């Protein structure tokens, strides 16, 4: 039976400097795969690399070839083996499959449940297929990993909750307003925090961004960057009339918006909803504003609390996800075992014998005049036809030649005769 | 076609309402679209059967079945179902089905539990104005019931956001804006229909009793609830009573409607009494 080996380093084992050194760009992956294909000891291979991990999944022809692979990485990325050897993990067979399924299902991600990883793995698989680096085993394994990941996403709540502060804020905004593209955002303060928050909002496409800052020059600069409008810091109360979301991140030591200011503004805007996101420490927005009807104030701690409880929720969902993954690993192993020669031949024999028996009985039951000896003779003959029919295919399977891929032919045989382990759905 | 057929079809409709409610409850917990879609199909089928049942009854007896409490409730439920489908189609607010299917199932169960009082022949309850009155009042009240439902959902969602405890409903309910918008549309639709219903009622009273206003308790309460809704709409338009306050008012308004529909007849009497005997 072929071995499945996975070596790699991720955010848990390697610091970011090392991960940067080990990471492969798409072009580098193509060259790496090209190189691995030339290697007689490696049957199939696949490389995937994101900012949090670099992993190589491969099927060796003989042995495990782990050291060879490590040297390969060292040469290819120009990093000394001693520098990254400690950060590497090596998984074999079931463990490798388990690890792959976990990665694809986003259980191994830095932010568990984040949805990008599956797309990145699919991309890596596409490159491997396009370059003919993957074969029967990795193809099946990768497809399995996609379906497990989909199942985990669908059946568990692992991707349901916001686990970053800006995402939690946007999720809240989406539960307050029905259409963010019609909403205007007021930024109080033009610091780095403000910029980060707005970048997320822009990806959610708000209608307009207004920036107010004590140093007007900075407000103008940031406004220009986001195609927005700058106003004087003193004008902030007037600005409340026309905005819907306020993100505050000034360095002020006192509240920059008080309850009375907002109350006055609320009247002018006919009590249309206002959502305050206060990411400043110390706080910018008077928490009392939350008691005004149709005004909602969330400060950094509120958002952190949401994120924490969401992370806790994800932890519970992880247990469920792991169960699905373990089931999938067992199934994959069964398929892998069935790819050996002996079970394939047995399955083939069984299938033929049962066809012959069914057909034979059907015919013989209508031929009442035959003697017992005749029946025996006919039965023997039909069985003989069956075994002669599959004799050559079996001979071929037993000896597919030195340089041919056994698993490929075994897989084809199983599909041709429909004796493959049934796929779900 | 006869009354037994009408009754049987109505029973089938009731079963469909209840099964659709089960579907919606599953959807509420599970959030799988298939449950909501199935439940919507079931409730639509129920409404279709319900409609057939009422039509069969009307054709057989040559009168609209609003002659005792059980019949009136059944017609009210049909109006609610119809308005629900209308608003569902307009807003695609899936979760509103949970409220509608529960209310519908409850009303239909009441229809079967309440003993049917014998129907007195009444030649007065006929004519264009009478039917317009019935149609407008029932659909109007159905819209207001849905406004109340949207109001309840709004309060649930608003409470979670205001108190910063994202509970069971946070994921399951849509945005406050949308809930407020749905509530407002149901409210204005209901208000317009109710207004027309009251006017046609007065015209009908004039043709039968010779006067627009007879000081009947139901008339008083109807006008009273109309004033409550008119005040709410006015406050909303001119004093910014939106969101939470508006939601609370729609819920209160609907309770006044329920009392006008049931309580007045049972406790205070008057010439509407026959509908809800």
Position B274 confidence tier, pLDDT thresholds 50, 70, 90: low
Look-up: residue for tokens 């928050």? A197
Name which residue leads in pLDDT, A55 or A404.
A55
Average pLDDT value for chain B: 86
Name which residue leads in pLDDT, A288 or A341.
A288
DSSP string, A411-424: HHHHHHTT-SPPPP
Q: Which of B176, B177, B240 sits opposite A271 (nearest CB)?
A: B240
Interchain pair A175, B162: CB under 8 A: no
**Total domain count, chain B:** 2
Interface test with A, best of B177, B178, B241 (most A CBs within 10 A): B177
Q: What's the rounded Cα separation, in Å, for the pair B188 and B243? A: 15
Q: What's the rounded Cα separation, in Å, for the pair B225 and B206? A: 22
Position B277 confidence tier, pLDDT thresholds 50, 70, 90: very low
CA distance A268 to chain B (A): 10
Beta strand ranges found along A179-310 (DSSP E): 184-188, 208-213, 229-232, 245-248, 274-278, 295-299
Percentage above 90 pLDDT, chain B: 39
Average pLDDT (B16-37) is 90
Average pLDDT (B163-185) is 88
pLDDT for B73: 87
- B132 & B73 share domain: no
pLDDT for B1: 56
Number of Cβ within 10 Å of residue A339's Cβ equals 24
Interchain pair A290, B178: CB under 8 A: no
Query: Among B89, B120, B151, where does a domain finish?
Result: B120
Interface test with A, best of B32, B164, B171, B185 (most A CBs within 10 A): B164
Position A425 confidence tier, pLDDT thresholds 50, 70, 90: very low
Query: Among B61, B88, B120, where does a domain finish?
Result: B120
Summarised one tens digit per residue, pLDDT across range B110-150 is 888 887 776 666 666 677 888 888 889 999 999 999 999 99
- pLDDT at residue A196 tops 60: yes
CA distance B143 to chain A (A): 22
In angstroms, what CA-CA distances link A168 with A28, A148, A173, A188, A210?
36, 27, 9, 19, 22
Summarised one tens digit per residue, pLDDT across range A299-314 is 888 888 888 888 888 8
Asked if B205 and B251 count as a contact pair (C-beta separation under 8 A), the reply is no
- Where are the domains positioned within chain A? 5-155, 165-306, 340-416
Tokens of B65: 């079945």
Percentage above 70 pLDDT, chain A: 94
The pTM of the full predicted model, rounded to 2 decimals, is 0.72
The complex's ipTM? 0.83
Percentage above 90 pLDDT, chain A: 22
Q: In chain A, which residues touch B (CB < 8 A)?
A: 160, 172, 174-179, 266-267, 270-273, 290, 293-294, 296, 298, 302, 305-306, 309
- pLDDT at residue B40 tops 70: yes
Average pLDDT (B3-7) is 82
3-state secondary structure B31-65: CCHHHHHHHHHHHHHHHHHHHHHHHHHHHHHCCCC
Q: What's the rounded Cα separation, in Å, for the pair B251 and A151? A: 41
Name which residue leads in pLDDT, A110 or A160.
A110
- B111 & B190 share domain: no
- pLDDT at residue A383 tops 80: yes
The helix or strand, by DSSP H or E, that contains position A10, with its residue range, turns out to be strand A5-10
Name which residue leads in pLDDT, A401 or B238.
B238
- pLDDT at residue A194 tops 80: no
Asked if A123 and A130 count as a contact pair (C-beta separation under 8 A), the reply is no
The angle formed by the CA atoms of residues A103, A108 and A113, to the nearest 5 degrees, is 90
pLDDT for A191: 73
- B128 & B142 share domain: yes
A to B CB pairs, distance under 8 Å: 51
Q: What CATH code is assigned to A165-306?
A: 3.40.50.720
Average pLDDT (A380-387) is 90
Percentage above 70 pLDDT, chain B: 92
- B159 & B227 share domain: yes
- pLDDT at residue A24 tops 60: yes
Average pLDDT (B242-246) is 86
The domain in which residue B63 lies consists of 1-120
Summarised one tens digit per residue, pLDDT across range A91-143 is 998 999 999 999 999 888 877 777 788 888 999 999 999 998 888 889 989 99
- B151 & B266 share domain: yes
In angstroms, what CA-CA distances link B236 with A59, A93, A271, A411, B239?
70, 67, 10, 70, 6
A24: helix, strand or coil:
coil
- B116 & B162 share domain: no
- B160 & B234 share domain: yes
- B252 & B180 share domain: yes
Average pLDDT (A272-276) is 91
Catalytic residues of A: 51
CATH topology of domain A5-155: Beta Polymerase; domain 2 (3.30.460)
CA distance B165 to chain A (A): 8
End-to-end CA distance of chain B: 26
- B110 & B132 share domain: no
pLDDT for A156: 83
Summarised one tens digit per residue, pLDDT across range A198-221 is 677 666 678 888 999 888 888 898
Phi/psi of residue A400, nearest 5 degrees: -90, 5
Average pLDDT (B240-247) is 85
Number of Cβ within 10 Å of residue B254's Cβ equals 23
CA distance B266 to chain A (A): 39
pLDDT for A122: 92
Query: Among B85, B120, B155, where does a domain finish?
Result: B120
């Amino acid at each position: 039976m072929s071995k499945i080996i996975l070596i790699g380093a991720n955010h848990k084992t390697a610091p970011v400097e090392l991960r940067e050194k080990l990471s492969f760009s798409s072009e580098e992956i193509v060259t790496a795969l090209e190189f691995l294909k030339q290697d007689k000891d490696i049957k199939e291979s696949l490389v995937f690399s994101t900012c949090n991990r670099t992993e190589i999944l491969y099927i060796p022809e003989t042995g495990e070839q782990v050291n060879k692979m490590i040297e390969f990485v060292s040469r290819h990325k120009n990093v000394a083996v001693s520098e990254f050897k400690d950060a590497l993990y090596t998984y074999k067979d079931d463990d490798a499959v388990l690890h792959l399924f976990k990665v694809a299902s986003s259980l191994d991600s830095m932010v568990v449940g984040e949805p990008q990883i599956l797309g990145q793995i699919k991309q890596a698989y596409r490159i491997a297929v396009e370059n003919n680096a993957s074969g029967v085993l990795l193809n099946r394994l990768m497809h399995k990993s996609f379906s497990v990941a989909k199942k985990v996403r669908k059946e568990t709540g692992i991707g349901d909750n916001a686990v970053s502060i800006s995402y939690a804020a946007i999720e809240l905004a989406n539960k307050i307003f029905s259409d963010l593209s019609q909403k205007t955002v007021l930024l109080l303060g033009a610091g780095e925090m403000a910029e980060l928050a707005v970048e997320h909002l822009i990806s959610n496409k708000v209608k307009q961004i207004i920036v107010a800052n004590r140093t007007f020059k900075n407000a103008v600069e940031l406004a220009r960057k986001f195609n927005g409008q700058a106003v004087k810091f003193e004008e902030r109360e007037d600005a409340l009339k026309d905005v819907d979301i306020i993100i505050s991140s000034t360095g002020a030591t006192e509240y920059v918006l008080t309850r009375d200011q907002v109350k006055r503004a609320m009247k002018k805007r006919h009590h249309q909803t206002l959502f305050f996101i206060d990411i400043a420490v110390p706080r910018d927005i008077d928490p009392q504003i939350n008691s005004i009807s149709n005004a909602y104030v969330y400060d950094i701690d509120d958002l952190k609390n949401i994120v924490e409880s969401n992370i806790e929720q994800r932890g519970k969902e992880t247990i469920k996800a792991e169960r699905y993954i373990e089931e999938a690993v067992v199934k994959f192993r069964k398929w892998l075992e069935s790819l050996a020669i002996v079970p394939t031949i047995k399955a083939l024999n069984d299938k033929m014998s049962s066809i012959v028996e069914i057909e034979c009985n059907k015919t013989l039951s209508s031929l009442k005049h035959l003697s017992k000896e005749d029946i025996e003779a006919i039965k023997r003959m039909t069985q003989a036809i069956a075994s002669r029919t599959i004799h050559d295919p079996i001979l071929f399977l037993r000896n597919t030649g030195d340089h041919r891929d056994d698993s490929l032919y075994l897989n084809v045989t199983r599909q041709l005769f429909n004796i493959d382990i049934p796929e779900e759905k | 076609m006869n009354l037994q057929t009408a009754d049987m079809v109505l029973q089938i409709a009731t079963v469909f309402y209840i099964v659709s409610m089960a579907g919606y409850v599953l959807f509420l917990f599970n959030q799988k679209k298939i449950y909501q879609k199935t439940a919507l199909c079931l409730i639509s089928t129920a409404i279709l059967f319900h409609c057939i049942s009422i039509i069969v009854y009307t054709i057989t007896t040559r009168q609209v079945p609003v002659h005792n409490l059980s019949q009136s409730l059944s017609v009210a439920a049909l109006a609610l179902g119809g308005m629900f489908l209308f608003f569902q189609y307009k807003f695609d607010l899936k979760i509103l089905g949970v409220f509608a299917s529960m209310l519908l199932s409850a009303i239909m169960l009441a229809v079967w539990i309440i003993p049917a009082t014998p129907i007195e022949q009444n030649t007065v309850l006929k004519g264009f104005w009478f039917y317009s009155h019935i149609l407008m009042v029932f659909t109007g009240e159905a819209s207001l019931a849905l406004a109340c439902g949207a109001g309840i959902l709004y309060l649930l969602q608003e409470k979670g956001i205001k108190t910063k405890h994202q509970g069971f409903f946070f994921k399951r309910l849509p945005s406050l804006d949308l809930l407020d918008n749905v509530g407002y549309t149901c409210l204005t639709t209901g208000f317009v229909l109710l207004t027309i219903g009251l006017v046609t009622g007065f015209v009908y009273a004039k043709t039968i009793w010779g006067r627009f206003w007879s000081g009947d308790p139901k008339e008083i309460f109807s006008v009273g609830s109309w004033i409550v809704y008119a005040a709410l709409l006015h406050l909303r338009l001119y004093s910014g009573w939106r969101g939470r306050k508006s939601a609370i008012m729609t819920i209160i308004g609907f309770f006044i409607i329920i009392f006008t529909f049931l309580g007045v007849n049972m406790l205070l009497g008057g010439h509407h009494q026959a509908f809800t005997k």
